[in-house]
Chains A and B, each alone.
Chain A
Amino acid sequence: MAAPAQRRIIFQHIDEPGYSNDLACYVRNGGYEVLKKSVTRPPAELIDEVKKSGLRGRGGAGFPCGVKWGLVDRKSGKPIYLIVNADESEPGTFKDRYIMHQDPHQLIEGTMISCFANNVKQAYIYIRGEMPHGARILERAIAEARAAGFVGKNICGTTYSCDIFVHRGAGAYICGEETGLIESLEGKRANPRIKPPYFPAVLGLYQCPTIVNNVETLCHVKYIVEHGGDAFTKVGTPNNTGTRIFCVSGHVQRPGYYEFEAGKITMGQLLYEVCGGPLPGRTFKAVIPGGSSAKILRFGERFKGKRKVGAEMVDYDWGVEDVPMDFDSLGMIGTMGGSGGVIVMDDTVNMVEALANINAFYSHESCGQCTPCREGSLWMKKITTRMVHGQARNEDAALLKSVADQIPGRTICAFGEACSWPTQSFIAKFGDEFKQYPETKKAAKPVGAHELV
């Protein structure tokens, strides 16, 4: 079956020749029309559209956006804050950066619509510290929008006022965890908060109700409000509405970002047809479908079970190539759609070495607050580093698995899962490779293999 065509909603203008990131170009392409209409509508109606749309958060967890907005404590009398999570740091993910670099006004419009819908008077864009260029672009864009009356006082001539500040992050992956982000925004170390009681919707920024949404999610809100929640459900598949941006990296002919309707394209179509398949003379070995913390898939493994299609349950028997790229299908086979970062590895990759790389990242990024993640991530890193650069032992695979099993579900935030799932899945899917690694190390490396640093 041929791959469907891309459906560019969010990335409509990305890489479009002649399209620039200034206000004039955005307005020329119909920009801020949705905001102008939105501020004349009742806010509750806008929230309803988002609820109807079934939009799921694009930051990684896929939590329904409308539900998130519904949880916000609106009776406390405290101000409600909206934070745009632009701390895109999941390895393998590079979608929000393009929105901010090439189409910042789309984000600003989506943000302002969401602010109006939720009666937010102050929004923050928390942008990753390593994206100074993006921060400058956003600041300029906000200044332009403010001058044009789309941000700040009396938006579009109404009595509604709301400002946006850009806050540059402190250069840590954990700043992307929403409560860690809030701590960082308050000027503290980005130590995620315990939940309960610190659910952002009730006790978020400055202990006020707070909405934290991903960049791409807010851009979707703009589309939903423009076309209606019902229209949005027609894009994608039920419960996986809208489009998804896949950031494909690694050993494919044409890595890059591709926007497709969620669930309408399979992994095989994406990798073989859209991305041109493996490099010459290579074969695919493994793929991580949703950012480096998602569990890895091994080409050649089969997934069997029952799934719901319409009202019926039907059997499925998929290879990795057959898996539809949506939250639910990827969830069913034990991994996740995550942030859409698809990392492809071919047969030149040694899995022990790949895991050593991932573990090095997570041990470096653990905030160090709670014990299992702090100690576990570094221990796993020390084991895999020793295997690669020092003495590999036959029992290391079992030890790695056991260490990884002691982390998830016992930590303050989802980092515990993020740092342990790679190890758990690598061992589960490529256990033999880990057991054989002491011997593999003695042999010559295959041609084209990457030197590890």
Chain B
Amino acid sequence: MIAPPKPDLVTVNIDGREIAVPKGTNVIEAARLVNVDVPHYCYHPKLTIVGNCRMCLIEMGMPAVDPATKAPIIDPVTGKPKINWIPRPQIGCGTNVSPGLHVKTTSPMVKDAREGVMEFLLINHPLDCPICDQAGECKLQEQSTGYGRGYSRFVEQKNVKPKRTQLGPRVTLDDERCILCSRCIRFSKEIAKDDVLGFVDRGSYSTLTCFPGKQLANNYSLNTVDICPVGALTSTDFRFKMRVWFLKQTNSIDTETSVGANTVVWSREGQIYRLTPRRNDDVNDTWMPDSGRELFKAVMAADRLVATTHLDALVAQAAELFKMNASAGAIAVVGSGRSSVEEQFLTKKLAAALKASTQLVSRVGQGDQLLISADRNPNVRGALVTGLISKLPKVGDATPLSRSTKGAVAAPIRTGGLTDLAASIDAGKVKVVVSIGEDLIAAGLTAAQLANVSVVYLGTHANATSAAAKIVFPTLSVFEKNGTFVNQQFRLQKFAKAVPGPQGATDDLIVLAKLTAAASSAPMASDLGSLWTLISAEVPAFAMTSYAQVPETGLLIDATPFAALPFVEGETLHFKPAAAAVALDS
């Protein structure tokens, strides 16, 4: 017996173990809490329940009650309450816990039901695992090994269905592998709100397809590939590229917007093959946008900046430049909302040492109320919290439109926020601009303005600013370094280094630390451990934190000092703007 549960908890018995779970939990999730695996295909925690795969059939029962006295009947043999077992197996996904519910997941009835369902699922499945992309992460493989009979009694012809339907620009469908679980249909309808998928034909000949004249082209289409329990829906990009078991998984963050969707980077031998979402129920559930999955391609781009000069020589050149412009206000630092918290902290330190003004480049686009927010910088709030900036960057108004690189939605993004800097340059006050990865031309400065100043550029890719810059420090992309971002919820989230950077590129932290040291003539730490000692000492919101303590699902920090700021974001999946906010994308 366990202690009486709290009112909102119900006690259930799973394979003889009692557990108190919140009301409304289904049996699959309840079993998960006691480490009992209930195999399933169609059930997905973030989608509606249809109960069609029948893999989660388990035995259930309720304590017998004396009809007269309403008292539980005690089995005289065991001395325990007698359980009235339901004679037929029930689906775990569609059954919510009720007080006293008893569940058996290992009984002969359950074993038989699972073997039956597994056999049925496999008879018309092509069993082409050797050439299937899903192999290695296939529920059908795992569960047929775990719960199947291990031999086939099927001697008939298998059903023939389309083998390579292009459902949309990024998703390829093999209908023969499909087990008709309808997860993709439900996702498109319920989450992506783009109801384009459905079954045609009946019975075992049912075939997944797009509605006539429609395509699975929305910016979330690749999530259907993630949730497909088998190899039916495959990513056209990743298809046939790499075996998943060779890939290393590294936790990362989607940097395309301030939502900060949690991701996993799949890489092998220094090369990234794909990005997939990582479950975070408070941020992105189990989803991520297609556009964010293509960001890794920039890592291998031909226009990556690499240095031919030694880093220390470059730092010496910069120190020289700083020394020549030592008067207050002669140097301006353009920080970035794409930099990590640590980089922004060091940027602030650098600006202070240089007695420089600081500004941030704003990027504002259209939000989609799901996982793309209007603020296309992943870490504007980090800049606020670290004190790099004290007010939000101005939204680019008179700035030219730039297009997001190769993303699925090429919606215009307004880049700007440098009008004050432009004025200072025109007034002849600013002589040196240090840009942390920001293309100043794209952010609204003219080539003529740029020609009037000496630019020190830290960045990953060649652009107009790097071309015009006096000194260029090639740095690392988000996939090549460690750090943290603060997303729109003021959630501090970690990302980790998945692959090494190219030869001749240096971690931004090292560059910034060396520049700061050169400017202030005092050493500056560049490793995360030491930096965080500084950060937690100096930044009130991070006072109780260290890098190591940030959990993989992030850490909410105090947002009250910034509550009144007019953030540009509208509502997204797990974010509601404060009432004062100006929602540009509503």
Contacts and interface: CB of A to CB of B under 8 A. Distances in A.
A366 interface: yes
Contact of A371 (B88, B120, B198, B205): B120
B52 A375 contact: no
Interface string B375-397: 00000000000000000000000
Interface residues of A, number: 33
Contacts of A153: none
A404 to B, nearest CB: 11
A112 interface: no
Contacts of B180: 368-369, 371, 374
A365 B202 contact: yes
B116 A406 contact: yes
A409 B124 CA distance: 22
Nearest to B55: A371
B204 A378 contact: yes
Given A371-B121, A379-B154, A363 B203 contact: yes
A372 B52 contact: no
B54 interface: yes
B203 A371 contact: no
Given A363-B203, A378-B204, A194 B89 contact: no
B206 A368 contact: yes
A410 B112 CA distance: 11
Interface string A341-368: 0000000000000000000000111111
A89 to B, nearest CB: 14
Nearest to A409: B88
A383 interface: yes
B525 interface: no
A399 interface: yes
B41 to A, nearest CB: 8
- Place the interface of chain B in its size category: 35 or more
Given A366-B203, A375-B123, A410-B89, A194 B51 contact: yes
Interface of chain B, main secondary structure: loop
B94 interface: yes
B206 A374 contact: yes
A371 B179 contact: yes
A93 interface: no
A372 B203 contact: no
Contacts of B153: 399, 402
Contacts of A366: 202-204
A368 B89 contact: no
B51 A172 contact: no
A131 interface: no
Given A371-B117, A409-B89, A410-B113, A172 B202 contact: yes
Contacts of A266: none
Nearest to A190: B202
Nearest to B206: A368
Contacts of B66: none
A196 interface: yes
Given A194-B94, A374-B180, A379 B51 contact: no
A379 B120 contact: yes
A371 B206 CA distance: 11
A386 interface: yes
A370 interface: yes
A137 B53 CA distance: 41
A289 B51 CA distance: 32
Contact of B57 (A363, A379, A402, A410): A410
Contacts of A382: 156-157
A189 interface: yes
A194 B180 CA distance: 16
B91 interface: yes
A103 to B, nearest CB: 33
A80 B49 CA distance: 25
A371 B124 contact: no
A204 interface: no
B199 interface: yes
Contacts of B176: none
B353 interface: no
B53 A370 contact: yes
Given A371-B54, A382-B157, A410 B199 contact: no
A194 B49 CA distance: 9
Interface in B42-76: 49-55, 57
Contacts of B569: none
Contact of A194 (B91, B112, B120): B91
Given A379-B156, A409-B89, A368 B113 contact: no
Interface string B183-224: 000000000000000110111111000000000000000000
Contact of A365 (B57, B95, B156, B203): B203
B204 A374 contact: yes
Interface in A384-417: 386, 399, 402, 406-407, 409-412
A324 interface: no
B40 to A, nearest CB: 12
B50 A371 contact: no
B53 A377 contact: no
Interface of A: 172, 189, 191, 194, 196-197, 363-372, 374-379, 382-383, 386, 399, 402, 406-407, 409-412
Given A368-B199, A406-B120, 12 more contacts: A189-B198, A365-B203, A366-B202, A367-B202, A369-B52, A371-B53, A374-B203, A374-B204, A378-B203, A378-B205, A399-B153, A412-B54
24 contacts: A194-B50, A194-B51, A194-B91, A196-B95, A363-B204, A364-B203, A368-B202, A368-B203, A369-B50, A370-B52, A370-B54, A371-B52, A371-B54, A371-B117, A371-B180, A375-B204, A378-B159, A379-B120, A379-B154, A383-B156, A386-B156, A409-B88, A409-B89, A410-B117
Across the A-B interface, the 5 shortest Cβ-Cβ residue pairs: A406-B116, A375-B120, A368-B206, A382-B156, A366-B203
